[in-house]
A and B are shown apart, each in its own frame.
Chain A
Amino acid sequence: SQKIEQNSEALNIQEGKTATLTCNYTNYSPAYLQWYRQDPGRGPVFLLLIRENEKEKRKERLKVTFDTTLKQSLFHITASQPADSATYLCALGGSYIPTFGRGTSLIVHP
């Protein structure tokens, strides 16, 4: 069955460093991959979409890579700030219904 893995342990980093979050998947050939941010008690907020034929996508301090051979996406936040602290979800899609990972909590310490 399809499986999406995101590190269940929180990632703790110091302000100003680059945060890197990982999303691995198995038994899936997604047409696209999305990253969302979710704050406690709030709904997910869409950040970036990367398609299967794209290797990398950037948006301001965010960068996403998509390696369909390794079946992995990396999500980077450069010059991280305490305000970036949240849970980050990856979602894979081939049809109109994306499948979400459980998310990884990021904590940026001042």
Chain B
Amino acid sequence: NAGVMQNPRHLVRRRGQEARLRCSPMKGHSHVYWYRQLPEEGLKFMVYLQKENIIDESGMPKERFSAEFPKEGPSILRIQQVVRGDSAAYFCASSTGLEGAKDTQYFGPGTRLTVL
């Protein structure tokens, strides 16, 4: 059973470009979470999605950031017009959604975004 897959693992963008980060959840998981981690900082929640539905996006910056989880295909975190401050590791996690608040989240390996 493959774990959570994220790609690319490393992404370099110049200021003003767009970054697209992809996450394929574990088989049987219908819930996806995106987090951002800066050096020496904890994981910061960004957005929680089910297929075709955003459940909670309270951690997402209001501008330039968007996320989707279509019926078919991976979840996408999109960052438009990237700035140097967007450089970070972005982690995706998935869960079954069966235990609600106590669902165990399984994390992917992360995408390390560097903005030049």
Chain B: how many interface residues by the 8 Å CB criterion? Answer: 26
- Check if A99 sits within 8 Å of B103, measured CB to CB: no
A residues adjacent to B (C-beta < 8 A): 4, 8, 31-32, 34, 36, 41-46, 49, 51, 89, 91, 93-103
Q: A43 and B109 in contact (CB under 8 A), knowing A49-B104, A94-B101?
A: yes
Does B48 touch A at the CB level, under 8 Å? yes
**Scoring B residues 40 to 52 as 1 if CB is less than 8 Å from chain A, else 0, what string do you get?**
1111110010000
Query: Which chain A residue lies CB-closest to B99?
Result: A96
Residues on A with C-beta less than 8 A from B105 are 46, 98
Determine if B102 is an interface residue (Cβ-Cβ < 8 Å): yes
Cβ A97 vs Cβ B45 within 8 A: yes
Instruction: Indicate which residue in A44, A46, A93 contacts B101 across the interface (CB closer than 8 Å).
Output: A93
